Structures are given as C-alpha cells and as structure tokens.
Structure 1
Amino acid sequence: MEINYINQSNDDSWDAFETYLSPILEETLNKTGFKNPVEVNVVLVDDPSIHNFNKEFRDIDRPTDVLSFEDGSMEGEVFMMGDIIISVDAIRRQAEEYGHSIKREFCFLVAHGYLHLLGYDHHTPEEEVVMFGLQKEILHDIARKDS
C-alpha cells in the first residue's frame, strides 16, 4: 500500500494529518474486501484551487469539499486507485458547521474519497445508503482502534 500525500494548501499544520491516511485506507480496503496492493494520491488544496478543478473537470463553477479522480489501472499487481483532492477550507468550515473536530472531518472526507476510487457512489438513495453506511463503519472502527 502506497499513499502519496501532497499538501498544496500553503499551511504546514496539515502535514501532521498524513498519519491518519493509512489506517483509513486499511479499514476501507478491509470493509470492501479489496485484496490487491494499492497506490493512491491524496492532495490538500484551498478553496480557489478545488474550485478550479471542479470547474475544469465537472463543469461546476464553485468550490467543493472533495473530488476523486479514479485511475483504475494495474501496474503489475498494484491497483492504481487515483487521486483524491480535498479542500482544507471546506474541512474547517464543515467541521464547525457539523460541530465536530477537524480530524473527524478530514477522516470523513478521506474515507469518502477512497470509497469513490473503489467504485462506490451516492447518485441514488440505494447507493447513498451503502456508501454512507460504509463510511460510518470505517470511521467507527478507526475511532474504536484509537481508543
């Protein structure tokens, strides 16, 4: 398992959050039954940057919290998951809005991105139940292991 963590937010305090990526990915792979070795890129940006990505790739002219760009190719036995781009501005904003910690919001968005890269989506109510249920289980199990 290889995770490339790229902090482009111009805020070095986010570097410490890299330690959360592996446990979340391990739990996500475990919950989804995915067995291959994987590689993924997790990129932190600010709202203007994610706004540009959202406009360019999704034709949506506003910032968002997380974008996932699935690769899905194999390099030998390694599954190239793709890229997750997360707005640190959205993490702060949503953590305050939902009344939980920055860490919890970061972990939520990372799990959400990992699931998208593994083919999960939430376009229909049925898909949403499955994907959000998995996210909840992943975060619950990570929190339990931390305690």
Structure 2
Amino acid sequence: MAIEFINESGNASLNEEMLIDVASYALRAMDVNPDVECSISAVEEDVIADLHVRWMDLEGPTDVMSFPMDELTPGAMGSRPDAPDFGPAMLGDIVLCPDFAQKQADAAGHSLSHELALLTVHGCLHLLGYDHGTPAEEKEMFGLQNELLANWYDDLKQRGVKFQPKPTGPKAFPDAAERAALDKIVPGGGVPAIAEPRKAQPED
C-alpha cells in the first residue's frame, strides 16, 4: 500500500509515520487491495479555505477534505469493501489542515495528533465511498470510523509501536451529533461531507 505524505502546513512537528500508519491500517482493515495508492497532504488554512470554496462552495477553512478519483464510485477499483474488487487503483487525496484541527483538538480536549488520526480515518472512508448525508449514513460512517480508530490504537500496542497515547476523553471517539456540537464551537469543522471535485483534481 503506497501512501505519500506531503507537509506544506508549516508545522514541522507533524508525525508523518503516524499518519501513514493509521491510513494504512484503516485501508487494510477495510479489505482494500494492498496495491492501492493515495496521498495525504497537510496544508495551511488559506490553502484549505481556497479548496473549500472552489470544490464545496463553502467559505472559510476547515479541518479535512477528501478528493476521491472520479472513477472510484462504489463498484469500481479499490472502493468500498462490499463492492467488487477489480485490483489496484489510485484512491485519491486527503487534505488536512493542522492549524484548524488544533482548534478542534483543543475544544474536544485531546491532542492534535489524535485529531489528525481521526480526520485521516474519516478521509479514508470518504475515499472508499462512505458519506454522512443522511442519519443512517452518519450512524454507519461514524461508527465505523470510531471502531477503526480504536482498533488502530489496540493494534499499535500489540505491535509495540508508540505514537500519541490513546485518549480517554468523552469526545475522543465522537458520533455525528458530538461532532456537530463541536462544529458550533469551532465553525467550519465538524468533519464535512465528501468533497468531490466538479471536473478535475485540485491543481498543485
């Protein structure tokens, strides 16, 4: 599984190994073809704000956006595990904004590293075709997100790998309602719905 991490956020303390590890774990746990590729980019607030308005018509920065490849709809290569497997594929891109995510982490009472891990898992699920546009979709996606994230921490312990400690706070593994409440504290976040490019991938 090839995952590229690009840090253009200005935050040199981001743990590239951790973000790639949690993304790899989530995709493996979802039975995605091991030959898939995706990228994770960390950007500044003005960059994600530009993407936010260009691709979702929403003003201001946010915490995470996902850009699935156009052809990766359910039933295509590397998409949801309940779809036919046609082999390896480029899943798409996850864009994180650490500065914005820090506000979310502070409001939720856990570390930036945990917040970025949560957002990365959320982004992976969007790349696989999951969304939260309806209550039923919300329940499925957030439940799956929390299960994957909690299991990843357990997997780290079994492997003897240490990143940030597994948080125990009540907002560490939030459902959709809890994230919506957080969005009222930090407007613009709340792990938005899938961001699908209208015609093409964002320019470099």
What's 2:8 paired with? 8
What's 2:151 paired with? 141
**How many angstroms does 1:31 deviate by?**
3.4
Q: Matched residue pairs, number?
A: 144
Tell me the alpha carbon deviations over residues 84-115 of structure 1, each in whole angstroms, 9 at most, x when there is no partner: 11111122111100001111101000000000
**How many angstroms does 1:69 deviate by?**
0.5
1:81 maps to 2:79: no
What's 1:60 paired with? 58
Asked whether the equivalents of residues 47 and 63 of structure 1 are also in contact (C-alpha less than 8 Å), the reply is yes
What's 1:111 paired with? 121
Query: TM-score, length-normalised on structure 1?
Result: 0.90
What's 1:70 paired with? 68
Q: Which protein is bigger by CA-based radius of gyration?
A: 2
SS of aligned partner of 2:93: strand
Specify which of 30, 36, 48 is matched with residue 38 of structure 1.
36
**How many angstroms does 1:36 deviate by?**
4.7
Asked whether the equivalents of residues 31 and 134 of structure 1 are also in contact (C-alpha less than 8 Å), the reply is no
Alpha-carbon distance between aligned partners in 2 of 1:100 and 1:70, rounded to the nearest angstrom: 28
1:97 maps to 2:107: yes
Q: CA RMSD in A?
A: 1.8
Alpha-carbon distance between aligned partners in 2 of 1:144 and 1:61, rounded to the nearest angstrom: 38
Query: TM-score, length-normalised on structure 2?
Result: 0.66
Alpha-carbon distance between aligned partners in 1 of 2:148 and 2:100, rounded to the nearest angstrom: 21
Amino acid at match of 2:52: N
Q: Give structure 1 regions of 4+ aligned residues with deviation exceeding 4 angstroms.
A: none
List alignment gaps of at least 5 residues for structure 2: 78-85, 158-204
Structure 1 stretch displaced more, 64-73 or 2-11: 64-73
List alignment gaps of at least 5 residues for structure 1: none
Asked whether the equivalents of residues 43 and 86 of structure 1 are also in contact (C-alpha less than 8 Å), the reply is yes
Asked whether the equivalents of residues 3 and 21 of structure 1 are also in contact (C-alpha less than 8 Å), the reply is no
Alpha-carbon distance between aligned partners in 2 of 1:44 and 1:54, rounded to the nearest angstrom: 14
Alpha-carbon distance between aligned partners in 2 of 1:110 and 1:143, rounded to the nearest angstrom: 14
What's 1:23 paired with? 21
SS of aligned partner of 2:13: helix
Amino acid at match of 1:55: V
SS of aligned partner of 1:6: strand
**How many angstroms does 1:62 deviate by?**
1.4
SS of aligned partner of 2:121: helix
Amino acid at match of 1:65: D
